[in-house]
Structure 1
Amino acid sequence: MEFKQPSLKELLAQRQTLQQQVTAARQREAELVLAEIVRKMREYQISLADLMGREHESQEVTTTPVPKYRDLQSGATWSGRGRAPHWIVDKNRDDFLVRA
């Protein structure tokens, strides 16, 4: 008995069919999980704030960091956090300090 390998066209059609089945199964399962989560939240009286964590409610809105350095030529500023801008790299940072 001879084994006939499927053609590329047949394999692509099978892949598309399987992908559609995977997508549909994922959607069905996600809906079931979401319904279970909502049911448990109602059962235990869990709010969205509880779910996100209690500290989330009391967190203050984050503000933009205060500039610590200023380039006098361009007026650009840098808080000293993260990667240093090109105008301060390899230079004495004290020369760029913002004076209050």
Structure 2
Amino acid sequence: MTQKTENPLKIQTTCGYRDIRKNIRKKSLYMEHPIMARTSYASQKSRLEKEKAKIEKQLQSLQAKQRKPIITSIVRSMRDYGITPEEIAAAFSPRASSRNTDGARKPTSASASKRTVPAKYRHPETQAEWTGRGRAPLWVVEAEAAGTPREVFLIEKVAADATAD
């Protein structure tokens, strides 16, 4: 059974069930079986690595294109305001002062102002030290449970007892 269909261009085409089956058979002979078409791990990996390298190269070129106008803008602003590269380097250096240009102190974050705290308590026998911050160490907890006050372990107290002996 052949069906004649009419298309908008008024061209007659025939499309029958047998024709479709023939075309499918012909194409299937040239198509590889899905199991046979599998590629090895190594070839897939190398193909993907090549694609990755290509994409990374494209990304780098895109970043370079984006950076050029920004650098031009920065240089133009530096010229307009009379800023020298040395001033920029000084602003980025770690030794840059923590003061603004007007002399006011810059606010510092908690992580930037982290410093070591001197020990406040010392165990007289083991010389273990504790700053007095955070959870008390086991030797302080045990001493307090035994009835010894925490002030006995103060470093000034320990130093005074050591010189008195």
TM-score by length of structure 2 reads: 0.37
| CA distance in 2: counterparts of 1:12 and 1:37, whole angstroms | 37
Please tell me whether residue 17 in structure 1 is matched to residue 50 in structure 2: yes
| CA distance in 1: counterparts of 2:135 and 2:62, whole angstroms | 43
Count matched residues: 96
Equivalent positions of 1:50-89 (< 5 A) are 57-58=98-99, 63-82=115-134, 84-85=136-137, 87-88=139-140
| CA distance in 1: counterparts of 2:91 and 2:134, whole angstroms | 32
- Contact conserved, 1:49 with 1:57, CA < 8 A, in 2? no
| CA distance in 1: counterparts of 2:140 and 2:59, whole angstroms | 51
Q: Percent identity?
A: 23
Higher strand share: 2
Partner of 2:153: 96
Alpha-carbon offset, residue 66 of structure 1: 1.6
CA distance 1:91–1:49, change in 2 (3 Å): farther
Please tell me whether residue 5 in structure 1 is matched to residue 62 in structure 2: no
Q: More deviation in 5-14 or 84-93?
A: 84-93
Relative contact order, CA 8 A, sep 6+: which one is greater?
1
* Runs of at least 5 residues in structure 2 that lack an aligned partner in the other structure: 1-30, 100-107, 158-165
* Runs of at least 5 residues in structure 1 that lack an aligned partner in the other structure: none
Instruction: Provide the secondary structure at the position in 2 that maps to 1:99.
Output: helix
Question: Deviations 1:48-99 (Å, cap 9, x if unpaired)?
Answer: 6767xxxx7146x865312111122222322133565554455437143323
CA distance 1:32–1:84, change in 2 (3 Å): farther
